[in-house]
Structure 1
Amino acid sequence: MTIVVTGSSGLLGSALVASLRGDGHEVVRLVRREPAGPGERFWDPREGVLDPAALEGADAVVHLAGASIGDHRWSESYKRELVDSRVAGTRTVARALAALEGKAPALLSGSAIGFYGDTGDLAVDESAPAGKGFLAGLADRWEEAAAPARDAGLRVVLLRTGVVLSRDGGMLARIVPIFKMGAGATLGSGRQYVSWITLPDWVAAVRFLLAHEEVSGPVNVTAPEPVTNAEYTATLAKALHRPTMPVSAPRFALRLALGEFVEEAVLAGQRVLPRRLLDAGHRFAHPTLGEALTAVL
């Protein structure tokens, strides 16, 4: 297969590219600088620049580009950056795909389980509607930006990704040093759900979706057993053989330190199930958190 990938230098994209190339697939990376070789093509998502010829001959485009949600405090300007980087990039890719003549590639476009908002104790699958809040609105607009490809009759898969567990980046890499010092703690009430997936399982799920042309629309890319924040904290501490703090980190302190981000991405919870992956026959290498953390760490 020939796969075009945006966001290929990020945690998810770099792992996917390595996996595909390791199995002999051809990968073309879309980059926002001068291409360094035949395996790269230029695009400018902000200006809507992407020559459709860069996508010709591909079997699929995996679109993962976008500003990081958790790396900055959510000022109004950075919230605009989060929206613009996702909506403009997705629209650019979708329009270029729609402009192709003949058989066009499938589009697997990044999204997030933030689409569902705070679900509380309610377990949701892909049939659930969009929730409320900034992240839900962002994910909704992000997904809708893929409409030109869908309207042109292309297969479009929306990758609603949960918290990705990796020692090389993301939330887990940032909190492991804290837990190793014995300073890990439950956040807020601890009752909010965390829907997670290991990086290898994320890559395997995307590759499964590349191969299964019968699957389109939203797909939750999460492990089948979400856990509460209290369970997550206890399981991580056990995996690291470290104690946790006897008290939880209070909501007001987290809000003071991290701002609006903490309300929607830390203290809000999503209890999300990968119904469509399971129904299509996909199986997870790390379905439970204990074995997942053991494998990752």
Structure 2
Amino acid sequence: MKIAVTGASGLIGSALVPALREDGHEVIRLVRRTPRTADEHRWDPQHRRIDAAVLADVDAVVNLAGTPIRPRPFTASYKRDLLASRVDSTTTISEALATAAAVDPSRPRVLLSASAVGYYGDTGDRVTDEQAPPGDDFLARVCVEWEAATRPATDAGVRVVTLRTGLVIDRGAMLVRILGTVFRLGLGGRMGSGRQYWPWVGLADEIGAIRFLLTADGVRGPVNLTGPEPVPNAEFVRELAAAVHRPAVLPVPAFAIRAGLGEFGRSSVLAGQRAVPAALQAAGYRFTHATLSSALHQALARR
């Protein structure tokens, strides 16, 4: 397959591109700066511009572009950037694929477009699969608009899969870097009540699922990219502490998280989703890391 990847320099993209090439695919990367290599092509998602020829002969696009969500207060300008960067990039890709499909409707095409389990809002301890409705907090509304931006591709007959990803577990992931440092200093513990579910996925399975979905012709629509066993925050931090051989004895009270992180703290730390990968497992995907312990030990192993 010829595959275009956006967001190729991020955590997921930088692991995905070499994996796809190892599978024998031809991969091109869409970049916003001046291209430096033959496999890079310029696009301008902010102004929704891309040369139609770039996607004319691609079989698939993996769209991972978007401003990273960081543990910081959601200012008005940051919220605008989080939403616009996702909607603009997805709309640009979807419209370009629709144009390509109109020119050559005989070529099967697939769009795997990033989303997040934040789509569901705070679901408490309710098991949440892809049929669950959206939440009503800011990040849920972002995910709804983000996924809706794939509509031009869907309407043009492109097979579209929206990747509702959980917390990615990898040495380079922001969550693991920050919490790993805190716990190695012996300063870690549960956050708030510790009962909120944190849906996680090992990076190996994030990449493995994307590779699987590229050719899973019967799968379309939302797919939860999460491990099969989401865990409450209290269990998550116990497993992380065990992986770095440190205790988890200093809980962080909810009021401190709300005061320090504002809306982000309320929606992304103190809230959670017991999201399960129902569609992915029904399609036949087999996990490399089926437990949080396995994913954490792989991510944090000395190299």
Q: 1:93 to 1:104 in 2, by over 3 A?
A: farther
Q: Is the 8 A contact 2:167 2:200 kept in 1?
A: yes
CA distance in 1, matches of 2:275, 2:150: 22
Per the TM alignment, residue 210 of structure 1 is displaced from its structure 2 partner at its CA by 0.5
Counterpart of 1:157? Answer: 161
Per the TM alignment, residue 104 of structure 1 is displaced from its structure 2 partner at its CA by 5.4
Whether 1:9 aligns to 2:9 is yes
Counterpart of 2:50? Answer: 50
Q: Is the 8 A contact 2:164 2:222 kept in 1?
A: yes
Whether 1:292 aligns to 2:295 is yes
Counterpart of 1:26? Answer: 26
Q: Is the 8 A contact 2:191 2:251 kept in 1?
A: yes
Instruction: Choose from 184, 191, 199 the match for 1:187.
Output: 191
CA distance in 1, matches of 2:130, 2:173: 27
Q: Taking structure 1 as the reference length, what is the TM-score of the superposition? A: 0.97
Counterpart of 1:282? Answer: 285
Per the TM alignment, residue 34 of structure 1 is displaced from its structure 2 partner at its CA by 1.4
Instruction: Choose from 105, 119, 126 the match for 1:122.
Output: 126
Whether 1:238 aligns to 2:253 is no
Instruction: Choose from 106, 129, 147 the match for 1:143.
Output: 147
CA distance in 2, matches of 1:155, 1:72: 35
CA distance in 1, matches of 2:96, 2:144: 21
Q: Is the 8 A contact 1:97 1:104 kept in 2?
A: no
Per the TM alignment, residue 212 of structure 1 is displaced from its structure 2 partner at its CA by 0.9
User: What amino acid maps onto 2:216 in structure 1?
Assistant: H
User: What amino acid maps onto 1:241 in structure 2?
Assistant: H
Counterpart of 2:64? Answer: 64
Q: 1:104 to 1:43 in 2, by over 3 A?
A: farther
Per the TM alignment, residue 171 of structure 1 is displaced from its structure 2 partner at its CA by 0.7
User: What amino acid maps onto 1:29 in structure 2?
Assistant: R
The range that moved more, 284-293 or 157-166, is 284-293
Q: Is the 8 A contact 1:117 1:130 kept in 2?
A: yes
Per the TM alignment, residue 126 of structure 1 is displaced from its structure 2 partner at its CA by 0.5
Q: Aligned to 1:215, what secondary structure does the other structure show?
A: coil
CA distance in 1, matches of 2:43, 2:203: 27
Question: 1:26-64: per-residue Cα shift (whole Å, max 9, x none)?
Answer: 110000011122201110001010112101221100000
**Where does structure 1 differ by over 2 angstroms across 4 or more consecutive aligned residues?**
none
User: What amino acid maps onto 1:164 in structure 2?
Assistant: V
User: What amino acid maps onto 1:5 in structure 2?
Assistant: V
Q: Aligned to 1:108, what secondary structure does the other structure show?
A: strand
Per the TM alignment, residue 214 of structure 1 is displaced from its structure 2 partner at its CA by 1.2
Whether 1:254 aligns to 2:257 is yes
User: What amino acid maps onto 2:196 in structure 1?
Assistant: Q
Q: Aligned to 1:62, what secondary structure does the other structure show?
A: strand
Counterpart of 1:267? Answer: 270
CA distance in 2, matches of 1:104, 1:228: 41
Q: 1:258 to 1:71 in 2, by over 3 A?
A: closer
CA distance in 1, matches of 2:190, 2:130: 28
User: What amino acid maps onto 2:36 in structure 1?
Assistant: A
Counterpart of 1:77? Answer: 77
Unaligned runs of 5+ in 2: none
Question: 1:107-158: per-residue Cα shift (whole Å, max 9, x none)?
Answer: 1000000000000010010011111100110000000011000011110000
Q: Is the 8 A contact 1:193 1:227 kept in 2?
A: yes
- Aligned length in residues: 296
CA distance in 1, matches of 2:239, 2:82: 31
Identical positions, percent: 52
